[in-house]
Structure 1
Amino acid sequence: MAKTIVLSNQKGGVGKTTTANALALIFRERGYKVLAVDLDPQGNLSFSTGADTDGTATIYEVLKEEVKPRFAIQKTGLVDIIPSNILLSSIELEFTGTQREYLLRRALEPLQQVYDYIFIDSPPALGILTVNAFTASDFVLVPMMSDIFSLQGLTQLSETVSRVKNFCNPDLQILGVFLTKHNPKTRFSREVKGALNMIAQDFSIPVLDTFIRESVALREAQSIQQSVLDYAPSCNAVQDYKTLTDELQERGL
């Protein structure tokens, strides 16, 4: 039975897609069967893994039950992925009936026995797509950029997770929040970390020990659709993501 993890933060640019990409690659490198699901209409995860998003089945057709999930999976050479494109942005308007929170959960059920891990990249908003991701997942993992504005969305995220637990998925857990583009040598970054610890404690959200340092190599590897593990295996951020993977597994993932 696969463990399903959604990367979520209502703020954009915090590293959700980069983290989904890196963790999927690392878990696959360690011998696990991994599926990535791009649930962001921007399709950045699809692009970074080399998936085709034009004229092919995407998560949009899967959610509409026009295509069976297994026929939407692309094996890109980097990772198995169900891609996304801009058509997915119309889901909010197209699905207004009851049970719409369970679309993704139902879609992924046939794949639970096929994969060890399923990583979902969610959009930077707390709408129906993110609620679907929460309903379909076992864990929420929250990347947060090391700035004061990223702290503001933590309260709303916690409230959304609580609502989903109450009404759709009682087993959902927040696996933890961790800092990206973090430089512990600067006073400001240390202050952000302190503020995060206080806010997270108020909402009983675990703060992970691992943080991710800034790295241009991550963006470069994604832009040329190459595994960062091959492109820059010794860069700080890659080592940080491997440490993050170790910590997540130690915490039950």
Structure 2
Amino acid sequence: MAKTIVVSNQKGGVGKTTTTNALAVNLKARGFRVLAVDLDPQGNLSFSMGADTENSATIYDVLKGELKTQFAIQRTTLADIIPSNILLSSVELEFTGNEREYLLKNALHPLESMYDYILIDSPPALGILTVNAFTTSDYVIVPMLSDIFSLQGITQLFETIDRVKTFCNPNISMLGILLTKHNPRTRFSVEVKGTVDMISDSYQIPVFETFIRESVALREAQSLQHSILDYAPKCNAVIDYKNLTDEILGKGL
């Protein structure tokens, strides 16, 4: 039975897509069956994994009920993926009926025996798409930059997760806060880390021991649709994502 993990933060540019991509590649490299689901209308994860978003079925078609979920899966060299495109941005207006929070959960349920891990890249917002991702998932990873702006809104994110836990998915839990583009040698990053630790204590939310360092190679690999493991295996950030994968597996997942 697949473990479903959503990577979420309502702030953009914190590394959600990069983290989803990196975890999918690392888990697949270790022999696990991995499915990535792009739930962001921007479709950046789809592009980075070499998926076709123009002439093939997407998660939008699945959520509309126009085809069975398995027919939207694309098998790329990096991992299996259900892609997304800009059409998904209309869901707030289109999906207004009862039980709309469960659309993704119902769509992915038939695939749970086919994969070991289902990784969801969520949009930078706390709308119905993100609520669907929370309703579907077993665990949440929250990437955040080591800056003061990333601390803003974290409370709102946790409150949204708590509401979903109360009304839609009592089994969801926080896997951890992940510091990205983090430099532990700068005073400011150390101060931000201290604030994150206080938030962690207040909300009883773990912080990953692993942090991700800044890297141009990560962006290059994604823009070229290459595996980060092949493109820059000795890059600090690539090593960090390997360590993050170890840490996640070490938690019993």
Distance across 2 between alignment mates of 1:29 and 1:105: 26
3-state SS of paired residue (1:37)? strand
For normalisation by structure 1, the TM-score amounts to 0.99
Q: Which residue of 2 aligns with 1:143?
A: 143
3-state SS of paired residue (1:166)? helix
Superposed CA offset, 1:139-161 (max 9, x none): 00011111111011210111000
3-state SS of paired residue (1:221)? helix
Is structure 2 residue 128 aligned with structure 1 residue 98? no
Q: Which residue of 2 aligns with 1:188?
A: 188
Distance across 2 between alignment mates of 1:39 and 1:99: 18
Task: Look up the equivalent residue of 1:198 and give its one-letter code.
Answer: M
Is structure 2 residue 24 aligned with structure 1 residue 35? no
The Cα of 1:76 is off from its aligned counterpart by: 1.2
Q: Which residue of 1 aligns with 2:216?
A: 216
Question: Quick one: percent identity of the two aligned structures?
Answer: 73
3-state SS of paired residue (1:144)? strand
Distance across 2 between alignment mates of 1:171 and 1:29: 28
Runs of 4+ in structure 1 over 6 Å off? none
3-state SS of paired residue (2:205)? coil
The Cα of 1:252 is off from its aligned counterpart by: 2.5
Distance across 1 between alignment mates of 2:73 and 2:97: 27
Task: Look up the equivalent residue of 2:144 and give its one-letter code.
Answer: M
The Cα of 1:78 is off from its aligned counterpart by: 1.0
The Cα of 1:63 is off from its aligned counterpart by: 0.4
Unaligned 5+ runs, structure 1: none
Task: Look up the equivalent residue of 1:63 and give its one-letter code.
Answer: L
Output the aligned Cα RMSD.
0.6
The Cα of 1:193 is off from its aligned counterpart by: 0.2
Is structure 2 residue 220 aligned with structure 1 residue 243? no
Q: Which residue of 1 aligns with 2:46?
A: 46
Alignment length (residue pairs): 253
Distance across 2 between alignment mates of 1:34 and 1:181: 25
Task: Look up the equivalent residue of 1:141 and give its one-letter code.
Answer: I
Task: Look up the equivalent residue of 2:196 and give its one-letter code.
Answer: L
Distance across 2 between alignment mates of 1:6 and 1:158: 14
